[in-house]
Structures are given as C-alpha cells and as structure tokens.
Structure 1
Amino acid sequence: MLPIAIDRKSPLSLTAQIRSVIHERIWDGTLHPGVRLPSSRDLAADLGVSRSVVVQAYEQLIAEGYLRATQGSGTRVATHLPHLGRVAVEQPAGIADARFDLRVDATSTEFFPAREWLKAYQGVVRSIGGPGPWRRPLGVPELRSELAAYLGRSRGVQATAAEVVVTANFDHTFGVLCHILRELGVDHIAVENPGAPWQVRIAQRAGLWVTGVPVDDEGVDVEALARTEARAVLVTPVAQVPTGAVLSPSRREALLRWAVDVDGWVMEHDRDGDLWFGASSGPLALQRCGTERVIYAGSTRGLLGPSLQLGWSVAPEVVTRRLGRAQLGAPDPLTQLAFTHFVSSGLLDQHIRQVRSTYRARRSVLQDAVAEHLPSAQLTGVPAGTHAYVRLPAGVDDVRLATVARTRSVLVHPGRHFHFDGRPSAPGVVLGYGAVRRGLLAEAVGLLAAVMGQVTGLLAS
C-alpha cells in the first residue's frame, strides 16, 4: 500500500498529483532509499485510477532520477540521491567513501582537542572522593554555574545558574521543548523556511502544527510570522541554515514584540554564535533582550565535533521546572565536570580561537573558488559558522546537480532540500566546510562546477 489522497477536482492531473506526493515523500524521508513501491497495477487499483496514470507518474520520476526500475525487482526509490534529513545509523552506499563531504552538518573529529580533554578528565577523576558525583536532573551544579558565566561573557546571555540546564544535542533538546510547549498550551509553532527539514519532523512528532515562515537577507520575516496563528517560533539568528543570514536589529525588536503580543515563545538556536569571524565581534544572543520570552539553546557540536553530545538551554523558570522532569540525555556527571574544567581553565576560549582561524581561512578559500569556478553563481551569508549558501543561475536543477555530484565523490545539499514545498525561488547549493580541509576545497568546487556544466550544458567557468 502507498496511501495517496487523490483530488479529482484539483486542476492538477491525476498523474501530476501522484508524482508530486511520491516526490515529496522521498524528500521528507518518508520513502527511504531502496524501498520498493507498489506495482503500477496494484497502486492504480488502490487509488481507483487507470494503470496508465500511475505508469506515467513512475516514468516521470524515473526520468528525473528519483526512482529506478529493474526487471524482476520492481520500482524502487533511487539509492544515489543526496542525503536527506538527519544522519542514519547506516549510511547509503557511497556516502561513507565520499572524498568531499560538503553537507551542511558534516563535521570532523580533527577539531576535538583530545590532549586537553584527556587532561581535564584525568584531573576530575583524581579530584573525586567518596562515591563520586551524582547525576542531577538539570546537570551538575558546577557546570551550570560555569555555563551561566561563560554564556554571559561570550554571548551576552542573561542567566543565573538556576536558569541553565545541561542537555544533549540540540535536536533532542528541541524535541523535549516542543513537548513542553504543548504542556504550556501551545499547539502551533513556526519555523524558518528555508530551514532544517528534520526539525519540522521533530515538532510534528511532538504533536505541534508546523508553519514555515519566509527568510530573507534580514532573517525571518516577522510580518509573515504575525499573519500565522503560531504562538512559538524556532529561529537561528546567526548564520541561519541554509541562507547564512543574520537576524537584523529591527527584526530582533519586532520578533520580541510579536512574542509579547501573542503571549508566545521564541526558541533561539545559537548554532554558530561562537564561530563569528567577521571584522566586528558579531551579534549577541537574542535572549539578553527578552529573558521572559526566549528559550535559548546551544551545544558543543560546532566547536568540538559530534562526539561529545553536550548542550545547554537557558529558559524562564516555568520551562526549566518542566525540563527537570524530562529525559534530557545529558552526558554522565564525570563528562560534565570535565567540560566544566575545560571552560573554567580557559581551554575552551583557546580552542575557539583556533577553530575560528581555521574556518575563516576555509571560507576565504571557498569564496575564491566559487568566484573562479562558478562565476555565474553568488555566494551569500555572513562570515560565520561552517557553511555558505551559493545561489545558482536560473534554470539549474540543483537536485540533479547534487545527485550527479555524488557520483563524483562530492556530497552537497541542494537548496530545494531546505524548502518545505520543495520549490525555492532560485536554485542553489549549500556548501559546508566543516569536514573538508582548506587545501581540498578548491578541488571540490572545481568538480562541482564540472558537474554543473554536465547537467546543464552551461559553461561553469
């Protein structure tokens, strides 16, 4: 069975409706790579349409590269599509061996300060007496206190230790917060569009109605947000994914006014606030201007890689109290105390300076490579974080570009991946530089340019 709602009054043809639904389910991860679809005869019978209608829909998707048909094996979702959504436990064939992983969330263990971390951990173990530290629902007190001081100094967050909660990665924290929003009477949340599609699914699994709000060069469109019925919104004020935009001062003020007007909440994901490498110091956290309406969250992922799985949230007492009853997935107490030492000793500040320097150099190389190999494209976004958005010339099929690039060992996310309706205003690709060394970025962009010429017939450079 493949449930598809057919609307015989729709201006779209039956074939177009079937093709659209299957395409959407491939992109949102519902239909996994390699999954077998019903035969055209069976699906036609299930939907009450002629077999030729289904055959035409399948043929269109096969021609576009989304499905493949093999004699004896039926029609299946293609396995060569670019990765959609969050990383699975088992990656589709080809991803693990890709030479250039330019996906937006790709990171490398090279940034993990193994020697310094081991020193901090050993120091904690030696200092422990008796039964050792106890696991606390909101995190060990030492780390909560240290994080309050660090976030105030580095990001301008206004918080006491009592308002800081130790968590795991952001996606897990977001899921917990979505359930808390429902307890607080919120049933509708807005998210940035384009934005991270996996976060839409997290909110939906928590039972929230999700609406996408447009993003432009000034960040989320607050006027469009006000036209929705949402009473909560998830925003990334610095280096928004995928556009790289920064929420402008006027939009910040408008967003906080909106939260007061609707008696709502702003969930601030401070994804790359520590990774600003522009001329100035960069914008501070939104939370400092709206402590009663903003739930602030961050993690170590961009700084230390994906292994540690340690994060934090700063929220008003009504939220913090509920977080204390939730399964937050925070690391064990010894790890929390080791990170406490890592912060208090200045090792984190030193590490951040090194990471910023590395990413600044990589972004500079990436910018030069795009200018050289993709002169008809435009690199956008602020000098921060681990990714850049590249707008491509009109008419380029960014999905096809990403699909073919994978066969050349280059992994990229097409712009369409981040748009909920699958149809961005202009084609583009997101180029992450968190997992590709500086010396290889120009080669990766050169290969991408060659692929663009191959799939479009246009000269890339």
Structure 2
Amino acid sequence: MLPITIDRDSPLSLTAQVESAIRERITDSTLHQGVRLPSSRTLAADLGVSRGVVVQAYEQLIAEGYLRATQGSGTQVATHLPRLGTAGVRRPSELVDVRFDLRVDATSTAFFPEREWLHAYRHMARSIGGTGPRRHPLGVAELRTELAAYLGRSRGVLTGASEVVVAADFAHVFEGLCHALHDLGAGHIAVENPGTPWLAGIAERAGLRVTGVPVDREGIDVEALARSEARAVLITPVSQVPTGVMLSASRRKELLRWADQVDGWVVEHDRDGDLWFGAGSGPLALQRHRTHRVIYAGSTRGLLGPGLRLGWSVVPGVVAKRLSQAQLGAPDALTQLAFAHFVSSGLLDQHIRQIRGTCRARRAALGDAIEEHLQGARMTGVPAGTHAYVALPAGIDDGRVSAEARRRSALVQPVRYFQLDRRPASSGLVLGYGAVRRGRLADSVKLLASVMDEVSGLLAS
C-alpha cells in the first residue's frame, strides 16, 4: 500500500489527490527511483476508489515523466525524473482537473494500438519454447535484427544487428551514451538552446560539461558549436524541440565537417522522423553519412504513447562495447520479442500511417484555431511530430500566460522552460497536440486567447 490518504470532502478530485500524493512521495524521496508501484487494480482496492481514478493518475504521472510503464513489468518510479520549471509542473496548491494537456511530450493512450499489440504479445507468448529467449546485454537478438531492417528502410539508417542497442526509453539510451562518450574522451557535450533541459541534466550527472548552442531557422548554429570547443553534440534534426525547425541541408554538411575536424560525435535524437507528414518522405537520418561519427537514437514514445516504453540506438562498435556493460533498463525479453513481431508483421507500419494522419489533422486544426483566435501569434515549424512553436506578440509574458492557463485547467509550456538559462530572446508557447483530440484543439486555443487578453490587460494597467 502506498502512503496515500483520500479525503472525500476535499475540493480536489480523487484523481488529483492520488496524483499529488504520488508526486510528493517521489519528490521527497519517500518513493525511490525504480520502485515498482501497485497495479492500478490493487491500489484502487486499497484506497476504496474506482480503478479508473488510479489509471488516470498513473497516466498523468507517466506523461509528466515521474513514472514509467513497461509491458510485463508494471508501473515504476522513473529513474530519470523531470527537471521541471514552475511552468511545467503543478504544485499541490495549484492542482486542477486538466482539461487540455498541451505539453510537448504529452500523449494519450489513444496512440497505443491495444488490439494489435495484444496480438503480437500473445503470438510470441505461444511461440517461445520452454527455455525462453536468450538475453543479451544490448537487447534480444530478434528485436535488434528487426530494428536494423526497419530503421534502414524507413529512416535510411546504415546498420546491422550488432550495432543496435535496446533500452527502456531514450533517457536510458542517452545516459548510457553520455558515460560512453566520457570514457572515449569526449567530456564536453553541446546541446541545442533552446532545447530539452532535462537531457542536459542527464549529461551533467554523467560527468559531462554541457554548453548550450543557439538554434535559428536552419537548426543548430554550427559556427557557435565550433566556438564552444565541445567534442560531442546532441541534436534533434527533424522538428527540433521546441522551435519545430528542421536542420537544413547546408547545416547537415557543416555539422558533419565539424565532427570530422574535432574528431567528435553527433548524437542524433530522431524524435519525429517517423511522424513526417509533409510533402515527400522527409529527410533521412544523418547517420547514413557518417556511420562512425553519428550515433542514431529513437524510441516508441511519440509512436505508441505512454503504453509501451522502448528505446534504441545505433552505435559504432567501440560505443557498443561500452554500452554492453551499462544498465540500460531494457524491457523484459518477451516484450522485446513482441515488439519484434509487431515490426516484422507490418503492424508498426500500419500504426504509423494512422498516427501520421491523426497528427496531420490535429496540426491543421491547431493552425486554423491559432490564425482565428490568437491575434498577432504565429505558428512555425515543419509538418512533423506532435508539437508546434507559437511566437507570441511582443510584450506578452509567456511565463504569465502559462501560469494563468494552468489555473484554468490547461497545461502549456512557455519557451523559457526550454532555455537553459530560462531567459529566452523572444516570447512563445510550445503547444503539443499529442494528448488533445482534434475536436478540442479550437477550445484550447480559445482558452489561451482569453488568457492572453487578460495578461495583456494586466500589463497595460
């Protein structure tokens, strides 16, 4: 039983109370990282609430990064806890029932293909022999083989199974890579700024020096990268977080030249390559042009939502050797085999086509709503992934907009949250549409428009 008390006279909903209690127990270290939580059914029975209350609370905490769910292993406290600013986390005194979760990494269980996944899982459960699959520190052989083939045909990655590494999620992959880079003499890594500060935190905890490098309309500023004297860099070349820009062809060439000149490494986080829904097939992986310098990494996060956590990387042999000694927290062998079947049977391709259509429709609806209701705001970024950058009119404080939106049951992140020093050059919001249905996006934008009007009025007075 978890140390949770339910107050039925509280103005907070039962779900909000469960969320708050678990979040507090994690942040005060009562619940340690990696600890397995009771099943939703068990906890619901212990607390005397419906199972749906606990399921919703778990899903919200998974979306926030406090918990992780692995098929076959239950729900656990995350081993890489979020470093959230005040705009990205709800304090107990501010808890509300969330109507619109517009954060970058928020996704809904609707993204998870439950029927198809159960088919793959049952198929492998019936197929494995009495001895079970052979485990390997870098992942089950069958999955590594399928991932090598899939990444080759879908993203242009040049690899064989021996260079594929399987982990629980991208955070685990990146932590292992940071330690490997440190061992290889690359003790200084650059990250995009604005970017993802929680990943910078992982690099720092691994002993790396971290420098933020500016991002413009063509992606990371390679000249600034060269001046940083870093020997490794983390990039998101497709739909960069938070700006949504794509690394241009000229910048790709400059980046590869930089890596050659400094004998360095590029960690290519391919967050949204599979979710390209613009013209053509979209850009292929950077890794194919420098297999000995570019480390390719991805995960199921954007594709399958919080229902399954699985990440992978494609690394040169010298890095694979070091990762084989790391604890990457890969899912259980049966889950890995089920995902291998999910890929080989074409179920993943089918699912991706559906999700692309969903994301295309949501982004279009979001753009229409912004144009109609957010006067002076401008949506930017390439047609890919599950988020868009919205530049706000001059003088609008994005932090105040985010804080007021939270009080009105909408979670949205200001661009300052993604800036390493929290001091952005301009004002903007980063709107995720992975957890909000298309029909509700217009309502969420109307709420933001009302908030902006109020914030503008306060500034004027």
Bin for the TM-score computed over the shorter chain:
0.7 to 0.9
| Aligned AA (2:357) | S
- C-alpha deviation, 1:289, in angstroms: 0.6
- C-alpha deviation, 1:375, in angstroms: 2.6
Equivalent residue number for residue 171 of structure 2: 171
Equivalent residue number for residue 392 of structure 1: 392
How far apart, in 2, do the equivalents of 1:215 and 1:190 lie? 12
Equivalent residue number for residue 83 of structure 1: 88
1:80/1:171 CA distance change after superposition, 3 Å: closer
Q: 1:452 touches 1:458 (CA, 8 Å); kept in 2?
A: no
Equivalent residue number for residue 87 of structure 1: none
| Aligned AA (1:279) | A
How far apart, in 2, do the equivalents of 1:171 and 1:96 lie? 28
Tell me how many residue pairs correspond in the alignment. 379
- C-alpha deviation, 1:304, in angstroms: 0.5
How far apart, in 2, do the equivalents of 1:181 and 1:400 lie? 39
Equivalent residue number for residue 60 of structure 2: none
1:154/1:95 CA distance change after superposition, 3 Å: farther
How far apart, in 2, do the equivalents of 1:242 and 1:81 lie? 17
How far apart, in 2, do the equivalents of 1:91 and 1:117 lie? 35
Deviation readout 1:372-408 (Å, 9 max, x if unpaired): 0113011010000000000001111100110001111
1:202/1:439 CA distance change after superposition, 3 Å: same
Matched, 1:251 2:251: yes
Equivalent residue number for residue 420 of structure 1: 420
How far apart, in 2, do the equivalents of 1:392 and 1:121 lie? 46
How far apart, in 1, do the equivalents of 2:91 and 2:425 lie? 30
SS of 1:139's equivalent in the other structure is coil
Q: 2:187 touches 2:207 (CA, 8 Å); kept in 1?
A: yes
Matched, 1:157 2:193: no
Equivalent residue number for residue 196 of structure 1: 196
| Aligned AA (2:265) | W
1:98-177 matches, cutoff 5 A:
98-177=98-177
How far apart, in 2, do the equivalents of 1:128 and 1:425 lie? 56
Tell me the C-alpha RMSD between the 2 structures: 1.9
Deviation readout 1:255-297 (Å, 9 max, x if unpaired): 0110110011000000000000001110011101110100110
How far apart, in 1, do the equivalents of 2:428 and 2:364 lie? 19
How far apart, in 1, do the equivalents of 2:396 and 2:171 lie? 32
Equivalent residue number for residue 334 of structure 1: 334
- C-alpha deviation, 1:81, in angstroms: 3.8
Deviation readout 1:232-277 (Å, 9 max, x if unpaired): 0000000100000100011001101101100110000000000000
1:139/1:242 CA distance change after superposition, 3 Å: same
Equivalent residue number for residue 38 of structure 2: none
| Aligned AA (2:139) | G
Q: 1:80 touches 1:406 (CA, 8 Å); kept in 2?
A: no
Q: Which runs of 4+ in 1 moved over 6 A?
A: none
- C-alpha deviation, 1:80, in angstroms: 11
How far apart, in 2, do the equivalents of 1:137 and 1:91 lie? 39
- C-alpha deviation, 1:167, in angstroms: 1.2
How far apart, in 2, do the equivalents of 1:91 and 1:106 lie? 18
How far apart, in 2, do the equivalents of 1:211 and 1:134 lie? 41
Q: 1:190 touches 1:212 (CA, 8 Å); kept in 2?
A: yes
Equivalent residue number for residue 23 of structure 2: none
Q: 1:300 touches 1:308 (CA, 8 Å); kept in 2?
A: yes
Q: 1:268 touches 1:287 (CA, 8 Å); kept in 2?
A: yes
Matched, 1:219 2:224: no
- C-alpha deviation, 1:421, in angstroms: 1.9
Greater Rg, structure 1 or structure 2? Answer: 1
Deviation readout 1:336-393 (Å, 9 max, x if unpaired): 0000110000000000000000000000000000000113011010000000000001
How far apart, in 2, do the equivalents of 1:91 and 1:197 lie? 20
Segments of 5+ residues of structure 2 without an aligned counterpart are: 1-25, 29-83
How far apart, in 2, do the equivalents of 1:415 and 1:148 lie? 35
How far apart, in 2, do the equivalents of 1:357 and 1:232 lie? 35
1:97/1:216 CA distance change after superposition, 3 Å: same
1:80/1:414 CA distance change after superposition, 3 Å: closer
Q: 2:87 touches 2:417 (CA, 8 Å); kept in 1?
A: no
| Aligned AA (2:176) | V
How far apart, in 2, do the equivalents of 1:174 and 1:400 lie? 32
1:300/1:442 CA distance change after superposition, 3 Å: same
| Aligned AA (1:118) | L
- C-alpha deviation, 1:302, in angstroms: 0.4
How far apart, in 1, do the equivalents of 2:296 and 2:437 lie? 31
Deviation readout 1:209-234 (Å, 9 max, x if unpaired): 11000001110000110111100000
How far apart, in 2, do the equivalents of 1:456 and 1:197 lie? 29
How far apart, in 2, do the equivalents of 1:131 and 1:144 lie? 20
Q: 2:96 touches 2:409 (CA, 8 Å); kept in 1?
A: no
How far apart, in 1, do the equivalents of 2:124 and 2:187 lie? 43
Equivalent residue number for residue 381 of structure 1: 381
- C-alpha deviation, 1:308, in angstroms: 1.3
How far apart, in 2, do the equivalents of 1:284 and 1:95 lie? 42
1:160-309 matches, cutoff 5 A:
160-309=160-309
1:184/1:333 CA distance change after superposition, 3 Å: same
1:92/1:309 CA distance change after superposition, 3 Å: farther
How far apart, in 1, do the equivalents of 2:398 and 2:327 lie? 39
How far apart, in 1, do the equivalents of 2:95 and 2:254 lie? 42
Q: 1:242 touches 1:430 (CA, 8 Å); kept in 2?
A: yes
SS of 1:241's equivalent in the other structure is coil
How far apart, in 2, do the equivalents of 1:172 and 1:392 lie? 35
Q: TM-score, normalised by structure 1?
A: 0.80
Q: 1:233 touches 1:266 (CA, 8 Å); kept in 2?
A: yes
How far apart, in 1, do the equivalents of 2:85 and 2:279 lie? 41
| Aligned AA (1:406) | R
How far apart, in 1, do the equivalents of 2:186 and 2:154 lie? 31
Q: 1:33 touches 1:92 (CA, 8 Å); kept in 2?
A: no
Q: 1:297 touches 1:312 (CA, 8 Å); kept in 2?
A: yes
How far apart, in 2, do the equivalents of 1:33 and 1:320 lie? 34
- C-alpha deviation, 1:458, in angstroms: 8.8
| Aligned AA (1:223) | E
- C-alpha deviation, 1:456, in angstroms: 1.1
Percent identity for Structure 1 against Structure 2? 70
Equivalent residue number for residue 453 of structure 1: 453
1:140/1:33 CA distance change after superposition, 3 Å: closer
Q: 2:243 touches 2:381 (CA, 8 Å); kept in 1?
A: yes
- C-alpha deviation, 1:134, in angstroms: 2.8
Deviation readout 1:309-351 (Å, 9 max, x if unpaired): 1111001000011111110111111000000110000000000
SS of 1:296's equivalent in the other structure is strand
Equivalent residue number for residue 37 of structure 1: none
How far apart, in 2, do the equivalents of 1:133 and 1:451 lie? 55
Q: 2:238 touches 2:245 (CA, 8 Å); kept in 1?
A: yes
Q: 1:309 touches 1:330 (CA, 8 Å); kept in 2?
A: no
Q: 1:196 touches 1:418 (CA, 8 Å); kept in 2?
A: yes
